[in-house]
Amino acid sequence: MVKNIAVIRGDGIGPEIVEQALRVLDAVALRYGHTFHYTDVDMGGCAIDKYGDPLPETELQKCVESDSVLLGAVGGDKWNDVPAQLRPEKGLLRLRAGMGVYSNNRPAKIWKQLSAASPLRQEIVDKGIDFIIVRELIGGIYFGEHKTEGGVATDMLRYSEAEIERIGRIGFETARKRGKKLCSVEKSNVLDSSRLWKQVMHRLAEEYPDVALSDMLVDNCAMQIVKNPAQFDVLVTENMFGDILSDEASMITGSIGMIPSSSLGAGSCGLYEPIHGSAPDIAGKDLANPIGTILSAAMMLRYSFDMPQEADAIETAVSAYLDDGWRTADIMSEGMTQVGCRQCGELIIRKLREEG
Ligand code: IPM
Ligand code: MG
């Protein structure tokens, strides 16, 4: 197959982690006889420096016209003082909205090789951590009206039934393919938008009798994620709750550098990115962990290109790399061998070749 991939290297460690993911994709293309064309797209701080805009329309267009987008990371202290409309993060939000990717899938899974890295007590970890947060990505308070006037700041949180229903369906479908347990997370004891959320989820539940739906208030959920993460299979929640809970969920796996994500809308064109940030403090030092980006590329193969075998091959190679005791600095522990970003990519590619 021939696929066109828009590549956003971005800021900080973005370029170096993306480089390794592209090398892994090239190795997959070679092994399975595919052709991947890459088109570079400027977004984030680097685009602010170049065009005075974190995502010019021409750059967004390249993404919309691609078969999928691979993104490293954007942002950094350098752009902290630019006006809100021009922040690197604004580019990311515009990209998500422009691509219409309303469904963000963030897995929280502990790698058996890294279970000691979790900050949770071992007995909690041993019960297993393997759940997915399905986060609504282009609605809610992120995209409501923002204004500051006369010393009063307002951010509007609104959701329509249609917006809730389409993300709800993704939650049910995701659960259906896994453990058949869906937990809908909201704040219906306080917010109207959450009461509507809950109503829509229960209406949908009638169409998915094979999936067990439960409700949880977001504050309780934050607590349950550290108390008993094994209870969760799939969580579905609105934009800002999902932002916060997914950071918490990644932390308990002990390796935020390893976690990929996918964002999809109505079509097959998706946005794939690691969930970590641009880590400017270690940028350019060959210290970053490229695995979150490499696994995001694997998700792209699985969900947008319908290449499950190729995706499995990457995930197996990553696991074999960890089995051999190689670790980037972020997950380094006693008795393991430390490697840099580039060598990590190389070792994973070597594993891929050995598999084939
Ligand atoms: C994330 C990030 C973004 C978000 C920021 C950078 C706008 O925190 O992807 O979780 O809040 O969605
Ligand atoms: Mg976040």
Catalytic residue among 11, 42, 243, 330: 243
Q: Please report, rounded to a whole number, the percentage of residues in the chain having pLDDT higher than 70.
A: 100
Residues 6+ apart with CB under 8 A from 244: 218, 222
Distance 356 CA to ligand 2 centre (A): 37
Q: Which of 345, 253, 297 is nearest to 20 (CA)?
A: 345
In this predicted structure, the answer to whether residue 318 has a pLDDT above a threshold of 70 is yes
Distance 208 CA to ligand 1 centre (A): 31
In this predicted structure, the answer to whether residue 356 has a pLDDT above a threshold of 80 is no
Q: Please report, rounded to a whole number, the percentage of residues in the chain having pLDDT higher than 90.
A: 95
Residue 85, pLDDT score: 80
In this predicted structure, the answer to whether residue 267 has a pLDDT above a threshold of 70 is yes
For β-strands 103-109 and 262-264, DSSP reports them as antiparallel
* Structure-block tokens of residue 99: 């691509």
> Sheet containing 212-217: which strands, arranged edge to edge?
35-40, 2-10, 68-73, 270-272, 262-264, 103-109, 130-136, 234-237, 181-186, 212-217
Least confident of 77-91, 97-111, 170-184, 200-214: 77-91
- For 196-260, list the strands marked E by DSSP: 212-217, 234-237
Q: Do 348 and 24 contact (CB within 8 A), yes or no?
A: yes
In this predicted structure, the answer to whether residue 201 has a pLDDT above a threshold of 70 is yes
Q: Do 2 and 67 contact (CB within 8 A), yes or no?
A: no
In this predicted structure, the answer to whether residue 6 has a pLDDT above a threshold of 70 is yes
Distance 243 CA to ligand 2 centre (A): 5
C-alpha to C-alpha distance for 67 and 25, rounded to whole angstroms: 14
C-beta of 92 in contact with ligand 1 (< 6 A): yes
Residue 341 burial (CB < 10 Å; 0-12/13-18/19+)? buried
Q: Which of 270, 340, 289 is nearest to 71 (CA)?
A: 270
Report helix, strand or coil for 352: helix
67 catalytic residue (yes or no): no
323 catalytic residue (yes or no): no
C-alpha to C-alpha distance for 302 and 308, rounded to whole angstroms: 5
pLDDT confidence band for 289 (50 / 70 / 90)? very high
C-beta of 74 in contact with ligand 1 (< 6 A): no
C-alpha to C-alpha distance for 246 and 233, rounded to whole angstroms: 14
Residue type, 157: L
Cα distances from 301 to residues 34, 88, 306, 309, in angstroms, run 11, 27, 6, 9
pLDDT confidence band for 268 (50 / 70 / 90)? very high
C-alpha to C-alpha distance for 305 and 268, rounded to whole angstroms: 8
Residues 6+ apart with CB under 8 A from 270: 68, 69, 101, 262, 263, 264, 299, 300, 303, 304
Express each pLDDT in 96-107 by its tens digit: 999 999 999 999
In this predicted structure, the answer to whether residue 207 has a pLDDT above a threshold of 80 is yes
Average pLDDT over residues 289-294: 98
Residue type, 127: K
Residue type, 67: D
Beta bridge partners of 152: 149
142 catalytic residue (yes or no): yes
Given CA atoms 187, 192, 197, 198 in this order, what sign does their dihedral have? positive
C-alpha to C-alpha distance for 331 and 139, rounded to whole angstroms: 34
Express each pLDDT in 320-331 by its tens digit: 999 999 999 999
Report helix, strand or coil for 276: coil
C-alpha to C-alpha distance for 273 and 356, rounded to whole angstroms: 26
Residue 219, pLDDT score: 98
C-beta of 248 in contact with ligand 1 (< 6 A): no
Task: Find the distance separating the first CA and the last CA of the chain, reported in whole Å.
Answer: 19
In this predicted structure, the answer to whether residue 83 has a pLDDT above a threshold of 90 is no
Residue 8, pLDDT score: 98
pLDDT confidence band for 346 (50 / 70 / 90)? very high
Name the residue of 243, 272, 278 to mutate for ligand 1: max ligand atoms within 8 A of Cβ: 243
